[in-house]
Structure 1
C-alpha cells in the first residue's frame, strides 16, 4: 500500500473513541480526526475517508436523523460498530445506497484494521456475532425456503452488500425488477428486510467474505464496557 488510509472515528463516549483511534494507528492507517458527533466535524475533514461510527443506541427518529446526516457526507465508506447489527442506522444507510460495513463493537483491533482495508476498497461486509449453531440454523432455513438458483444468486449479492443498482447492472435488468425479486426472496425466507436476508446468507456461508467473518466470530463475546482493554496491544 503506497499511502495510508485516512480514518475518522466518531463516538459519543470520548474514552471509547480514543481507545479505538489510538489502537488503529499504524503505517497503513492514519486517524485523521476524532469527534463525538458527525456534526462536530468539518465536511472537508470527512472527504474520501473511512469513518468508524460507534452506534450506542437510540430511538428510530434519532437514528433516521443521524443516517440522513451521514448519507450526505462525502466519505469513502462507513464502518458502523454496534452491539445490535440490525439497527436503524445501518438500515437507513443501506436504503440510501451508501457504502457501509458493519461489525460488533467487540471486534478486535487487528480485525478492525482488516475491515478498514476492505471498506477503503468499497467492499461491503456485515460481520455478525455468529456461532456454529447459528450457521447450522441459517443453512437449514435456506434449505427450507426452497430457493431457486436465481434467488440464491440474489441472496449472495445482498450478502456482499450490493445495491439495487449494482444488482440490476450485474443481472442486466431494471432496478424495479430487482426490488420485486428482493420482496419475493424476503417472503420465502420469512425476514422483514434485506439486511436480515443478508445476515442470514452470511451465516449460511454464501457471502464472499465468509472466511473473514468466521475467523473473527470468536471475538464477538466481550461487552462494550471493556472496549478499552480489547484495543490494547
Structure 2
C-alpha cells in the first residue's frame, strides 16, 4: 500500500512512499513532520492501493521510533513455533447508519475476540477497490445494501498471534474506514456462514455505548459517530 501526503487537495505531494509493515500512517506522517488532517482518497485495487491524505506541519519533535508490536495472546509460546508468517491485510470497514440505527457485527469464535461487536467490513480481495470490498462485505455479513458517503479514517494494528486457521502470524491490519448509509434497512442476516461474523444487528443510536465493542471499533465510534449522526446520513 502506498501513502501520499499533500497539504491541500490536488496539491503536490510533501511525502510519498510504501507503508512499511507494522507502520501506522498517522505515526509515519508525524515522524516526517506532519499530522494527518483527514484522508482524501483510497484509489486503485488490492494490493496496489494508494491512500492520499491531507496533512499539516506540526512543528514539534518528530524523533523516529520503531513500530510497536503487541501480542493478542499473552500465553502464546513461540519457542516451538516456526518464524511467524509476515502478513499485511488491507481491509475496508464502514460506520453504516440508517433510520434503525448503527449497523454492528459480532465476532465469532474463530477470532481472538469472540462475542465482542465491531463495524461491518473485511478484507479487500486482489483486484478489488476498498469501496467495492465494503459493499460486498456488508451484504455477506448482514444482507444490507448501502450507499457510501465518504472516506472517513484509516486505522492500523500490529500484533503477533494465531490466525483463525491457527497459523502464527506477524500480522499488520490496515483498515480503511468509510461513512455510509442504508436507505432501506432490513433485519440483518449473516450469509457468510462459518466465518468471522457470528451475528449482525442494528444498534439504536441512543444505546450504542452499552454495547461490548472491540477496542478498535469503540475508538472509531468515539471519534466519529456523534458528528455523523448529525450530518444527514440518518433519514429523519
Structure 2 length normalisation: TM-score? 0.28
Q: Which has the higher strand share?
A: 2
Structure 1 length normalisation: TM-score? 0.28
Q: Which has the higher helix share?
A: 1
Structure with the larger RCO, 1 or 2 (CA within 8 Å, 6+ apart):
2
